[in-house]
Amino acid sequence: MTDWQPQAAKLADSLAAESAIVDYRWRAAFEATPRHVFVPRYWALNEYNSPVRVVDGAVSTHRHEWLQAVYENRFLITQWVADGDRRIVTSSASLPSLVARMLHILDVADGQRVLEIGTGTGYNTSLLCHRVGAANVTSIDIDAGLVAEATGRLDVIGYTPTLHTGDGALGVKDGAPYDRILSTCATRGVPPAWIDQLADGGRIVTPLTIGGALAVLDKTGPGEVSGNLDVEPALFMAMHPAGQPLPDGYLAEIPPPVSNEAAHLGTSNVDPEALADFDFRLWLLLHLPKLHFVEHFDDQQTRIGWTIHDGVEQATGKLGADGVLHVRQSSRRLWDTVEAAWLGWVDHDRPRRDRIGVTATARGVQYAWLDSPDSDVRWPVPTA
């Protein structure tokens, strides 16, 4: 295929225009990397964001749709598994603007050694190879099939990084220490092995499973990393052991509503707009890490309420004609915690997520904090 270079250049132009790319060296990497090689096919989604139709570049009638999608700023589903009636995504080509953002904050320098957690399609691996040289890139993925496919794709364009099949949470000890560790899957906390395998002064960039948090952590001492969250949310599939597509509870079913006899009714002072605010949701999840959100809409697709649940019990807040949230909850009063978290968020000037940071040690001590690691406002980071 010889017509991809203008498409790659156009993608790089669009990423630069929205400031996702701010370094000419990363721009050159995006321009020189044939994304279509790493996404030979993808699955189109239905209105419920479930994969329903394959779009294959090898099929002539698909070719235009496929090529256009591959070089747009779109995430593309590349693999899924069935779980009853559900199709659970197990691999994707991430949103290019998010890829560029994470590579930017990785702050890699020439010749530095990088460990990538989550090889996936190999596209991100290729970008790293272009930037620091394939000899300096190590990548690991739990899925042997994905690693084999990525190896072949990287070979096609002339890159031979070190690829491993295994548990990304354990890192790759043989290649340590690494100057940078970049995860393309979300983790519950920071795996201690990464901290051990990080060079002095090194950096870890990893999405967390809580609230779309993207942690940017520098090694601040022996066996310790610390740093703030990025201002932008980053939603990634969760890291998982082989044979378990998602961690327990990740797709928790909504529990049944409380009975009329046991229901506690009331109103809420929470600003309804805050419940759709990713920064407030992160703040709330630091108080209730296992909380799930379900939004309710009317026939005009106007948001009219929310159900929150922890897989065991639920609480519902619905907007009345008076514009007030009317709450129905069980004796556990989940919504009371929402109310308390809201008041704390307002009291601390509605902090953006980049005011929140994380400190983690190789001994397993991990906590989030507001404004400073020494702050009195802190929460344990859930690691299991």
- Show which residues are catalytic: 94
Q: Which residues pair with 55 in a beta bridge?
A: 42
**For the residues of 286-331, what is the DSSP string, one character each?**
HH-TT-EEEEEE-TT--EEEEEEE-SS-EEEEEE-TTSPEEEEE-T
- The strand order across the sheet containing 51-56 reads 51-56, 41-45, 76-83, 86-93
For residues 273 and 214, is the Cβ–Cβ distance under 8 A?
A: no
Output Rg (C-alpha) for the chain, integer angstroms: 22
Residues 204, 230, 269: CA angle, nearest 5 degrees: 135
CA 214 vs CA 102, 168, 183, 207: distances in Å? 9, 17, 10, 4
Residues 246, 249, 254: CA angle, nearest 5 degrees: 125
Nearest CA to 247 out of 169, 361, 352 is that of: 169
How many Cα atoms occupy the beta-carbon half-sphere of 368 within 13 Å?
A: 27
Q: Distance (Å, rounded) from C-alpha 117 to C-alpha 167?
A: 9
For residues 263 and 316, is the Cβ–Cβ distance under 8 A?
A: no
> Burial of 243 by CB count in 10 Å (0-12 exposed, 13-18 middle, 19+ buried)?
exposed
